[in-house]
Amino acid sequence: MADLLTLTSGLPERALAADEVLVVEGEAPDHLYVLVEGELLVRRGGDDLIAFDQPGACIGEKAVLLNRPHRSSVVATRPTRVRVVEDAAERIHHSPEVLLEVAVLLAGRLEMVESFLSDLQHQYRDHDGGLGIIGDVLGALAHHHGPTELSPGSERDPDPLY
């Protein structure tokens, strides 16, 4: 199975300086980006969430696949180079190889999240408090089969113990 670096060989590349923004939260998706070298930081609402530094990492796929604005910004943390997959929705539609690779990357990320939540559920199974919701989250992941308008977080005051 070819990886995204191989499948995007020959596509245009974009060089980013440290602190340069690649994706802006709230903008409509038009491209996918494949990391060639460097590091990209995903930032939502001013909070740093995750960094990607592995060549072949895909950026922007969720917004393209769900046909919705980007929910996060992506910023280079050091000099970085990405391949640009223009008209990404069309490319995915007409390239089963690219679609498969994006699906494999997403499945790997989902598996990691499920494992993490499962570990938390196990560690805090006897704990009264906010972590009791983990079982509900795992159940929702297992039973969700279609698009939904998600609204992470809540309007309540955060628990002062966290």
pLDDT digits (tens, 9 = 90+) for 15-45: 999 999 999 999 998 899 999 999 999 999 8
CATH 3.10.20.30 correct for 4-143: no
Average model confidence (pLDDT) across the chain: 80
Where is pLDDT greater, at 147 or 66?
Answer: 66
Question: How many Cβ atoms from other residues are within 10 Å of residue 91's Cβ?
Answer: 19
143 CB contacts (<8 Å, ≥6 apart)?
Answer: none
Residue 147 is predicted with a pLDDT of 55
Instruction: Classify residue 93 by burial, with Cβ atoms within 10 Å: 0-12, 13-18, 19+.
Output: exposed
The residues spanned by each domain of the chain are 4-143
Residue 130 is predicted with a pLDDT of 60
pTM assigned to the model: 0.71
Instruction: Classify residue 131 by burial, with Cβ atoms within 10 Å: 0-12, 13-18, 19+.
Output: middle
102 CB contacts (<8 Å, ≥6 apart)?
Answer: 4, 32, 58, 61, 65, 92
At 1, the pLDDT band (50, 70, 90 cuts) reads very low
| Helix (H/G/I), strand (E/B), else coil: 114 | helix
Pick the range with the lowest mean pLDDT from 3-12, 122-131, 150-159.
Answer: 150-159
- Judge whether residue 160 has pLDDT over 80: no
> Which tokens is 119 given?
């570990």
